[in-house]
């Protein structure tokens, strides 16, 4: 299968797909380019036609992951309408869903040590996901007087960090971190408490 894809000019993507599986199985530093090449069905020398090294291969896996991530976040936000709060909470649930469904991409994006500044393409892809949260934050805060309105970038970053923490601690099967509550419930209640504290949604 991989070799047939190579003959059709799909070697680059075959290598990325192989790397994503290896990252999921062994972590971002647990495999070699030779292993990725073998899984893609080509010689190690063929890898260098498309990637200078393993980090470049992981960076491309991360870039593709960010594009999937931003698309899921955008769909979640739109599906959460008509209320800004429901849409905002939906993006948090999408974060958890992405981590579960695309673990190889997730690790490449957030646990590989690859900077999003490595390439302009990677940086652009990474910015798209955060922009969905920032746009949701702007919409959620538009009824607050400007002088009392917290910067959308601040609280969207806080919610991103909260989502990431729930994923890392409770949604990916980390040893010794069993929660008595579903990760989605933890995140939703946490977001609610946080936004009430900022005055973005009314107290019950």
Annotated domain spans of the chain = 1-51, 58-197
Helix, strand, coil shares of the chain, percent, nearest 5, are 70, 0, 30
Instruction: Give the pLDDT score at 201.
Output: 65
Whether the predicted pLDDT of 24 surpasses 80 = yes
Nearest to 136 by CA among 80, 92, 176, 77: 77
1-51 carries CATH number 1.10.10:
yes
**What's the rounded Cα separation, in Å, for the pair 195 and 197?**
5
Q: 202, 140 in Cβ contact below 8 A?
A: no
Q: Is omega for the bond preceding 109 within 30 degrees of 0, making it cis?
A: no
The better pLDDT of the pair 191, 143 is held by: 191
Tell me what pLDDT residue 196 has.
79
Top-confidence range, 22-26, 141-145, 162-166, 178-182:
22-26
CATH topology of domain 58-197: Tetracycline Repressor; domain 2 (1.10.357)
Which one has a higher pLDDT value, 66 or 93? 66
Rounded Cα gap, residues 143 and 166, in angstroms: 29
Average pLDDT, stretch 150-172? 81
pLDDT band at 202 (very low <50, low <70, confident <90, very high): low
Assigned token pair, 147: 């002088």
């Amino acid at each position: 299968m991989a070799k047939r894809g190579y003959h059709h000019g799909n070697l680059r993507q075959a290598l990325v797909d192989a790397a994503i599986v290896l990252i999921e199985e062994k972590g971002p530093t647990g495999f070699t380019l030779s292993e990725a090449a073998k899984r893609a069905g080509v010689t190690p020398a063929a890898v260098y036609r498309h990637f200078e090294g393993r980090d470049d291969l992981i960076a491309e896996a991360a870039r593709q992951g960010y594009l999937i991530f931003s698309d899921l976040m955008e769909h979640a936000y739109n599906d959460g309408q008509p209320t800004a709060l429901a849409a905002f909470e939906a993006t948090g649930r999408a974060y958890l869903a992405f981590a579960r469904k695309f673990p190889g991409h997730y690790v490449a994006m957030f646990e590989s040590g690859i900077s999003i500044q490595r390439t302009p393409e990677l940086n652009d892809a990474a910015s798209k996901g955060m922009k969905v949260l920032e746009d949701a934050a702007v919409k959620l805060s538009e009824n607050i007087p400007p002088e009392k309105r917290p910067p959308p970038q601040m609280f969207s970053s806080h919610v991103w960090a909260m989502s990431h923490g729930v994923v890392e601690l409770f949604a990916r099967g980390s040893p010794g971190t069993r929660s008595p509550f579903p990760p989605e419930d933890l995140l939703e209640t946490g977001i609610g408490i946080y936004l009430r504290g900022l005055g973005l949604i009314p107290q019950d």
